[in-house]
């Protein structure tokens, strides 16, 4: 059953949260963020305000403080149960209290309580965190400020302790009563080439002639309809480095926060090779919940998620190597598989799978991913064919830690590659399952193409396996490095590798250097990457490297309140308290004991509303407009029902309610996925055979824009048969008409090329020349690499 945290409602009481102001400082590939929530009580009674908001899974939250009417109150990190008790006790005693905690079921959702905010009083609540910035394929560093938190699917076994269970108000983005501002400062010794964003920004202001420092600001009027994404391009991003940070001055050596910490960055120069794996079991697990009927982005013209998913599966099926095994699962409240178990990749099995993909709809209800995962893992392993699992989901689930735990348990027998679809996908789920199995994660938002990211990942999964990965340190006597990051067993080409270590022992005199060496084996050859670095730790008041190291370690031990093994709970709690980085077992609590005004009766509770995106949630089965008020009453929080007369319903002109739309937010033209008829690229790829060839038929003629008779008449039958002629024509068409999307068809083209070389032999140059002339193409014959 799907529980919505409110449904397009607006309460007339003033909302105490007025604005959110964010300051971001990016140095090289680390971001330090300070976010301030500005509250004001405009009512005549004391308030308790409750706000649920998204965070990135990799954020290391280390500070929380409040400024109330000019007085600063710094929070303390405590055991979560103790912090909650202290918060309730403080409120009951008439004190002012502030509570910040992460959700019990997911690392990417936080809640903030502001308790006993007096009439006319103002409070600025500030949280600070640091995080690594991931490296995109094109060399950009990606910073995301989460602004979208979609309702998440609640199933019968969901945690009752989750803040996502609180039915807070949800309003259209244009009616949101608070604003967002963000100023970002960027520093890099390598020089900043440009900054791009999915949101309007002020012009980039360079703070020096050498372009090593720059500042950008988010334009006013952000609508909370998308996460704020920055893509930062440096002149050089692939330089290995070591950053050594001094520990806390007053802490004894031997502790994580007392010793210096090192952050090591490697960019292994793994040679690009033709995919060598002709074996493997490839399982594609595709979300078919109702929310997949939504557009890929908030733009009206964007493709539906389910349509992009279908095209992606077609491309993946056509790109698989001959001799492998595969299967496709669709999941929602239930799940379906194309085949009872994985089958060998042949023309027959590929055609059967394609037929099912073409009929696929977002019709399986909610988002329950755990059951299909368990079914996949129960299946028998295929000797010589290691399992490669591709998971596509919009991430609207609540049992995040249970899913990650299941993937981790089976992590040694497979790799999981995950894809978060659309705004608000759970970073905790998508990153967590990839990390637990040695895979990679991707997020598909805005104008990103699911097809491109999926095919790049498939190419990565087909690369030769990097083996015997090891890290060694060469340090002066008396100094050693204690690894804090998990042992690295998988390295992918183009991937940045970040490793944290605690430096124990006596630091040498100035001018001394150390060396760290990454060694690995690829196809029998040994490779080494070395970095020499000065052994002079630098101070940082925010202890950025230490916090990131603690977060990295916590991610290996902290699996939530319910899923963390007892042996790890104590370690995670102690690590969190020592480092000051919040975890599932801790919370920040700040109490203003100077305020001592006993509350007469219960505090007036105000849930801060959140925005709802067009089509962001699973469809509701509302048959007609007369049912709308009933659905509205169900979705409102209990406190709202007590003020029914003050509730305004957004109805009138925008709602055309039926079985496939969320109060008309998904327009009628989008309710049924179109066929591939107008997309000639997908149509051409759809008709490729499993062995890489094409048949000479009407389907190919339609894509080429010619009659079958014309193509047949130009066929040099003395040089090649009809399939060879058709295949060469198809490949030339791809290069002429689909070059901008080459990353999506590169693998299936390689398969076609291999088939042609074996099929046409020495006549291939002559056939290619005839095909280029016939198509009047400017394609260079050299692409065929005779």
SS (H, E, C) 309-333: HHHHHHHHHHHCCCCCEEEEEEECC
Measure the CA–CA gap between 616 and 613, rounded to whole angstroms: 5
Report how far apart, in Å, the C-alpha atoms of 112 and of each of 5, 75, 102, 182, 373 are: 16, 12, 9, 20, 33
Residue 25 domain flag:
yes
Question: What is the rounded average pLDDT for all residues in the chain?
Answer: 85
Residue 385 domain flag:
yes
pLDDT grade, residue 233 (50/70/90)? very high
- For residue 644, pLDDT over 80 is answered with no
Measure the CA–CA gap between 702 and 678, rounded to whole angstroms: 11
Burial of 377 (0-12, 13-18, 19+ CB in 10 A): middle
User: What's the pTM?
Assistant: 0.87
Q: Are residues 227 and 353 in the same domain?
A: no
* SS3 label, residue 250: coil
| Percent of the chain with pLDDT strictly greater than 90 | 64
Q: Which of 468, 296, 287, 293 is nearest to 367 (CA)?
A: 287
Which of 580, 611, 642 is the endpoint of a domain? Answer: 611
Q: Are residues 38 and 94 in the same domain?
A: yes
The distance of Cα 778 from the centroid of its chain, to the nearest Å, equals 40
* Residue-number span of the structural domain to which 697 is assigned: 685-784
Measure the CA–CA gap between 18 and 227, rounded to whole angstroms: 19
Residue 668: what pLDDT?
29
- For residue 214, pLDDT over 90 is answered with yes
Cβ atoms of 618 and 663 within 8 Å: the answer is: no
Residue 639: what pLDDT?
31
The structure tokens 């950053």 sit at 243
Residue 562 domain flag:
no
Measure the CA–CA gap between 219 and 224, rounded to whole angstroms: 13
Interval 142-164: pLDDT, tens: 999 999 887 665 555 555 566 66
Write the CATH number for 301: 3.40.50.410
Q: Are residues 291 and 320 in the same domain?
A: yes
Cβ atoms of 266 and 528 within 8 Å: the answer is: no
pLDDT grade, residue 648 (50/70/90)? very low
Residue 175 domain flag:
yes
Residue 92 domain flag:
yes
Beta bridge partners of 503: 481
Q: Are residues 295 and 387 in the same domain?
A: yes
pLDDT grade, residue 27 (50/70/90)? very high
Cβ atoms of 527 and 519 within 8 Å: the answer is: yes
Q: What average pLDDT does this structure show over 671-677?
A: 39
Interval 416-432: pLDDT, tens: 999 999 888 899 999 99
Q: Are residues 483 and 516 in the same domain?
A: yes
Which of 445, 462, 479 is the endpoint of a domain? Answer: 462
**How many domains in the chain?**
4
- Range with the lowest mean pLDDT among 339-348, 525-534, 602-611, 767-776? 602-611
Q: Are residues 126 and 150 in the same domain?
A: yes
Q: What average pLDDT does this structure show over 661-678?
A: 34
Q: Are residues 392 and 519 in the same domain?
A: no
Calculate ∠ Cα 371-286-428, nearest 5°: 70
Interval 484-520: pLDDT, tens: 998 877 788 778 899 999 999 998 877 899 999 999 9
Q: Are residues 124 and 101 in the same domain?
A: yes
Q: What average pLDDT does this structure show over 32-44?
A: 95
Q: What average pLDDT does this structure show over 83-111?
A: 93
Residue 621: what pLDDT?
32
Q: Are residues 475 and 430 in the same domain?
A: no
Angle between helices 305-319 and 450-461 (to 10 degrees): 30
Cβ atoms of 22 and 34 within 8 Å: the answer is: yes
Residue 156: what pLDDT?
53
Measure the CA–CA gap between 387 and 404, rounded to whole angstroms: 17
Which of 441, 462, 483 is the endpoint of a domain? Answer: 462
Residue 221 domain flag:
yes
| Percent of the chain with pLDDT strictly greater than 70 | 85
Q: Which of 660, 698, 679, 684 is nearest to 734 (CA)?
A: 684
DSSP state of 564: S
Residue 634 domain flag:
no
Q: Are residues 349 and 437 in the same domain?
A: yes
Write the CATH number for 111: 2.60.40.1730
Longest CA pairwise span in the chain (Å): 98
Q: Are residues 458 and 476 in the same domain?
A: no
Residue 648 domain flag:
no
Q: Which of 299, 353, 306 is nearest to 326 (CA)?
A: 353
Q: Phi and psi (nearest 5°) for 396?
A: -90, 65
Interval 67-88: pLDDT, tens: 998 899 999 999 999 999 999 9
Beta bridge partners of 110: 53, 102
Q: What average pLDDT does this structure show over 87-92?
A: 93
Q: Are residues 443 and 530 in the same domain?
A: no
């Amino acid at each position: 059953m799907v529980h919505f945290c409110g449904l397009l409602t607006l309460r007339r009481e003033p909302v105490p949260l007025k604005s959110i102001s964010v300051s971001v400082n990016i140095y090289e590939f680390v971001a330090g963020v300070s976010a301030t929530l500005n509250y004001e009580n405009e009512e005549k009674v004391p308030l308790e305000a409750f706000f649920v908001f998204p965070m990135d899974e990799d954020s290391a939250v280390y500070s929380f403080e409040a400024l109330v009417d000019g007085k600063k109150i710094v929070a303390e990190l405590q055991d979560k149960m103790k912090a909650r008790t202290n918060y309730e006790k403080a409120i009951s005693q008439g004190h002012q209290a502030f509570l910040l905690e992460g959700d019990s079921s997911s690392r990417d959702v936080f809640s903030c309580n502001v308790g006993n905010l007096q009439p006319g009083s103002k409070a600025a609540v500030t949280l600070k965190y640091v995080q690594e910035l991931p490296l995109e394929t094109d060399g950009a560093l990606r910073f995301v400020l989460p602004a979208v938190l979609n309702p998440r699917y609640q199933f019968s076994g969901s945690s009752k302790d989750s803040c996502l269970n609180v039915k807070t108000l949800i309003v259209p983005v244009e009616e949101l009563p608070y604003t967002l501002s963000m100023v970002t400062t960027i520093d890099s010794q390598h020089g900043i080439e440009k900054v791009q964003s999915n949101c309007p920004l002020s012009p980039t202001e360079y703070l020096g002639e050498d372009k090593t420092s720059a500042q950008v600001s988010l334009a006013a009027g952000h609508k909370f309809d998308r996460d704020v994404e920055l893509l930062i391009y440096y002149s050089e991003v692939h330089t290995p480095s070591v950053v050594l940070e001094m520990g806390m001055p007053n802490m004894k050596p031997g502790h994580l926060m007392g010793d210096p910490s090192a952050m090591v960055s490697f960019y292994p120069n793994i040679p690009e090779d033709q995919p060598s794996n002709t074996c493997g079991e490839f399982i594609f697990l595709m979300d078919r919940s109702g929310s997949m009927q939504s557009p890929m982005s908030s733009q009206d013209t964007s493709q539906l998620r389910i349509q992009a998913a279908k095209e992606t599966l077609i491309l993946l099926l056509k790109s698989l190597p001959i001799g492998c095994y595969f299967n496709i699962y669709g999941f929602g409240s239930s799940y379906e598989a194309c085949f009872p178990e994985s089958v060998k990749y042949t023309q027959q099995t590929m055609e059967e799978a394609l037929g099912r993909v073409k009929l696929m709809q977002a019709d399986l209800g909610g988002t329950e991913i755990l059951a299909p995962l368990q079914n996949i893992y129960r299946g028998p392993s295929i000797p010589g064919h290691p399992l490669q699992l591709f998971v596509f989901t919009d991430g609207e689930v609540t049992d995040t830690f249970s899913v990650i735990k299941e993937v981790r348990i089976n992590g040694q027998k497979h790799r999981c590659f995950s894809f978060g679809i659309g705004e608000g996908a759970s970073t905790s789920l998508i990153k967590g399952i990839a990390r637990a199995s040695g895979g990679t994660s991707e997020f598909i938002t805005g104008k990103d193409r699911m097809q491109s990211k999926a095919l790049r990942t498939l190419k990565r999964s087909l690369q030769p396996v990097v083996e015997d990965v090891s890290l060694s340190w060469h340090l002066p006597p008396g100094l050693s490095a204690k690894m804090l990051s998990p042992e690295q067993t998988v390295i992918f080409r183009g991937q940045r590798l970040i490793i944290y270590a605690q430096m124990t022992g006596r630091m040498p005199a100035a001018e001394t250097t150390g060396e760290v060496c990454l060694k690995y084996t690829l196809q029998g050859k040994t490779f080494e990457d070395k970095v020499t670095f000065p052994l002079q730790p630098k101070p940082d008041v925010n202890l950025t490297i230490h916090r990131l190291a603690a977060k990295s370690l916590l991610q290996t031990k902290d699996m939530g309140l319910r899923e963390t093994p007892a042996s790890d709970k104590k370690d995670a709690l102690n690590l969190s308290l020592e480092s000051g980085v919040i975890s599932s077992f801790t919370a920040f609590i700040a109490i203003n004991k100077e305020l001592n005004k006993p509350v007469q009766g219960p505090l007036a509770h105000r849930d801060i509303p959140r925005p709802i995106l067009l089509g962001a949630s699973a469809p509701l089965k509302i048959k007609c407009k007369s049912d709308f008020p009933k659905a509205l009453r169900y979705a409102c929080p209990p406190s709202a029902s007590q003020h029914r007369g003050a509730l305004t319903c957004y109805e009138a002109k925008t709602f055309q309610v039926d079985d496939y739309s969320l109060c008309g937010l998904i327009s009628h033209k989008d309710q049924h996925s179109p066929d591939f008829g107008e997309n000639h690229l997908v149509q051409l790829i759809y008709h490729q055979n499993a062995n890489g060839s094409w048949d000479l038929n009407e389907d190919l003629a339609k894509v080429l824009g010619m009659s079958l008779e014309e193509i047949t008449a130009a066929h040099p039958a003395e040089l090649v048969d009809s399939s060879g002629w058709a295949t060469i024509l198809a490949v030339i068409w791809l290069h002429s008409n689909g070059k901008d999307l080459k990353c999506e068809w590169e693998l299936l083209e390689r398969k076609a090329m291999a088939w042609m070389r074996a099929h046409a032999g020495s006549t291939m140059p002559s056939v290619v020349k005839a095909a280029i002339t016939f198509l009047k193409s400017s394609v260079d014959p050299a692409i065929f690499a005779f």
